[in-house]
A and B are shown apart, each in its own frame.
Chain A
Amino acid sequence: MTNKQRLYLLEQMLRIRSFEERVGELFLKGESAGTMLHLSIGEEAAAVGVGAMMQDGDSFTTHHRGHGVFLARGADPKRMMAEIAGKEIGYCRGKGGSMHIADMSLGHLGANAIVGGGISHIVGAALSYKTLKKDNVSVAFFGDGAMQQGILYESFNLAALWNLPAMFVCINNQYGMGTRVDQSSSTLDFAARAKSFGLQADTADGQDIEDVVNKAKKLLKQARAGRASFLTINCYRFYGHARKDKSPYRSEQEETAGRQQDPISFWEENLVKAKIISNKKLETLKKEIDLEMDAALSFAENAKKPELATMFEDVYSPKQAKPLSNKARLDL
């Protein structure tokens, strides 16, 4: 890895954290169109480590905690924030929001608020790539909660059985909402589960982005060659499940220890120690990023709301026979 690449990883992680802090503000100000917010603070190395190793044209799905992955794949924070605020200029015309955002041009086949809901779609995308002889990989990002969903194992089976360019990435933040992973999973060795399906599989340390990058790179290469793969990345969810969750199900002691596994401060210290960045330059970089995200926040706040009638658009193809007009009902 070059020093430039190391700095890039740091910058991307900092952008995600700064963005998410401002999404929090958006909600506090009552400017979000939705009420539900799930932050991935503490999980940035997983999103950036895998996201940075993917290639243009690769596609992916994420879960309800997917801001980081989308930013790591090149999302414009302005349009993303506007989407969460339910604005016309947002990625999905303000119809997706945080948990259902998608973007065709960046290969984002969709975040999903159904745990495990988007996993099988990458199997289909990968099957398309294989059929159309494209050199792309489709990647599913999900949490440890989805490790207990049946659809994951149906998807594992198909991806391995059909030798698909598919990769499954579990961002194990230790909690499915309020239940700790050791209370919900018969084994904590997720890679072993994947291996038993014939997938190439590994486990990465989510505090150490270099470890994530190395393993993701290898497993993406395998997937691109038709050997479907799986990577589980261990990290810690710094805050509650959602905005108002004060995590009464875990101790302060545990949280303090968990937050010490911060992938950002870990990487900062590494780069400063190796003299790849000075403390002063680091502060400047952070300030620049915060300004960018402040601008995204005000962009979203000031953006135009979609017309009410757009509620009735995009249900069916506009080209073909439409079901009875709902639009007329608005005028009743």
Chain B
Amino acid sequence: MPRQNIVKTIAKTLDQQMEIDSSILVLGQDVGKRGGVFLATEGLFDKYGPDRVIDTPLSEAAIIGAAVGMAAYGMRPVAEVQFADYVFPGFDQLVSQAAKIRYRSGGQFFAPMVLRMSAGGGVKGGHHHSQNPESLFVHTPGLKVLYPSTPKDTKGLLTAAIRDDDPVIFMEPKRMYRSVKEEVPEEDFEIEIGKAKIVQAGDDVVLISYGSSMDKVLEATKILREQAISVELIDLRSLMPWDKEAVLKSVARVGRVVLVSEAPRTLNFVSEVSACISEEILDSLLAPPIRVTGFDTPYPYAYDKEYLPSPNRILKAVQKVLDY
């Protein structure tokens, strides 16, 4: 099995699926000849040509709207929005149209489409190249939302997303595009949407995170291991639907939980997870759940290091739940 990074995995997965299913096509700004702003579609244009790898103008609303129409009429479009921050010009098409087409038509029409976007901070991109808007998508019934953090999960979940009959928002952790490498099986495989991954088992504290926050969480986990604190680490991977069963099982057993996500604090996705924990297994808790998040500010230009949940902030939160 080749060791490969996330961005290469995306290109190879798209290639593999396009070979299998001729109804899959890729569209977005610069996805063709340029191979994508991050090279996530590199090589596809040469292999499949302009009819299946479509360079679009800078028109997010029409890209998403056209994907809805195509999906309703027999295709499986995989559209790319270069940065999650660029989705907002097309937000109506996503929220009012793609998400509701199945419901409003009483199940007649549906939109099997994937909308890929790079997300997350830590690349010194400022306000418009660093955001994590996953809560907005999760808050829109009709959309599914995935946010993997490793190459292998990227392959399995992207494959599942393409084959899924609902619109799937596929978020990609841009600062980890090339920094994380692992062996990825060459064969075609899916990871079930809605299943979390227990990255490591442990008994002292449960750490829950996903997507672009996972690199800092892994750093913190390493330090905790050196301190002989036993961590159960859960990578949610899928946010809508999310794996409540796995989360409640781990937290009920361990009794202490810290939830980490770099999105702004209020209505951060982990707030929902925390609320479910309190609502359903309060009696099992040995300490109140603690969230470690970004702040309720626009993404700061010069302080991105301070904004992101650092290993240090995560360690402090862990200490707090242990000392409670």
Interface residues of A (CB under 8 A from B): 59, 90-96, 100, 102-104, 109-110, 112, 114, 117-129, 131-132, 138, 150-151, 154-155, 157-158, 161, 313-317, 319-324
Q: Considering only CB atoms, which chain A residue lies closest to B92 in the complex?
A: A114
Tell me which residues across on chain B come within 8 A of A129, comparing CB atoms: 73
Is B72's CB under 8 angstroms from A125's CB? yes
Q: Which residues of A contact B75 (CB under 8 A)?
A: 127-128, 131-132
Q: A102-B105, A122-B69 are in contact. Are A319 and B165 (CB under 8 A)?
A: yes
B106, CB-defined interface residue at 8 Å: yes
Chain B: minimal CB distance from A132 (Å): 6
Contacts of A322 in B (CB 8 A): 241
Whether A154 contacts B62 in the complex (CB less than 8 A), given A93-B106, A314-B102, comes out as: yes
* A/B pair count, beta carbons within 8 Å: 160
User: Which chain B residue shows the least CB distance to A157?
Assistant: B57
Residues from chain A with Cβ under 8 Å of B177 in the complex: none
Which has the most chain B C-beta neighbours within 10 Å: A96, A104, A120, A321? A120
Which residue on chain B has the smallest CB distance to residue A162?
B54
**What is the CA–CA distance of A90 and B93 in the complex, to the nearest angstrom?**
25
Closest residue of chain B to A105 (Cβ to Cβ) is B108
Among residues 75 to 111 in chain B, which have CB atoms less than 8 Å away from a CB atom of chain A? 75, 77, 89, 92-93, 96-97, 100-110
B166 within 8 A of A: yes
Closest A residue by C-beta to B195 = A321
Which one of A92, A122, A314 has the highest number of Cβ atoms from chain B below 10 Å of its Cβ?
Answer: A314
Report Cα–Cα, A49/B291, bound state, in Å: 60
Do B62 and A157 touch across chains, with their CB atoms under 8 A apart? yes
With the chains together, A100 CA to B103 CA distance in Å?
A: 10
Q: Which residues of B contact A316 (CB under 8 A)?
A: 102, 142, 144, 166
Q: Are B104 and A131 in contact (CB under 8 A)?
A: no
The 4 closest A-B pairs by CB, nearest first: A124-B69, A120-B65, A93-B106, A154-B62
Q: Bound state CA distance, A315 and B68, in angstroms?
A: 16
* Known contacts A109-B69, A120-B93; A104/B105 CB under 8 A: yes
Check A323–B72 contact: CB distance below 8 A.
no
12 pairs across A/B with beta carbons < 8 Å?
A90-B106, A92-B104, A92-B105, A109-B72, A114-B96, A151-B92, A155-B62, A158-B59, A315-B141, A323-B144, A323-B240, A324-B241
- Given contact pairs A125-B72, A317-B102, A131 touches B25 in the complex (Cβ within 8 A): yes
Residues of A contacting B61 with CB < 8 Å? 120, 150-151, 154
Residues of B within 8 A of A161 (CB): 57
Q: Tell me the smallest distance from the CB of B210 to a CB of chain A, in Å.
A: 16
For window 144-175 of B, CB contacts with A under 8 Å fall at: 144, 164-166
B241 touches A124 (CB 8 A): no
How close is B86's CB to chain A, nearest CB, in angstroms?
Answer: 14
Query: Given A110-B101, A154-B59, A317-B166, A121 and B65 touching (CB < 8 A)?
Result: yes
B109 adjacent to A95 (CB under 8 Å): no
- The proximity string for B residues 213-235 relative to A, scoring 1 for CB distances below 8 Å and 0 otherwise, is 00000000000000000000000
Query: Which of the residues B62, B73, B106, B144 comes within 8 Å of A314, measured between beta carbons?
Result: B106
Binary A-proximity of B107-120 (CB < 8 A = 1, otherwise 0): 11110000000000
Chain A nearest Cβ from B23, distance in angstroms: 9
Residue in contact with A128 in the complex, picked from B70, B103, B244, CB distance below 8 Å: B70
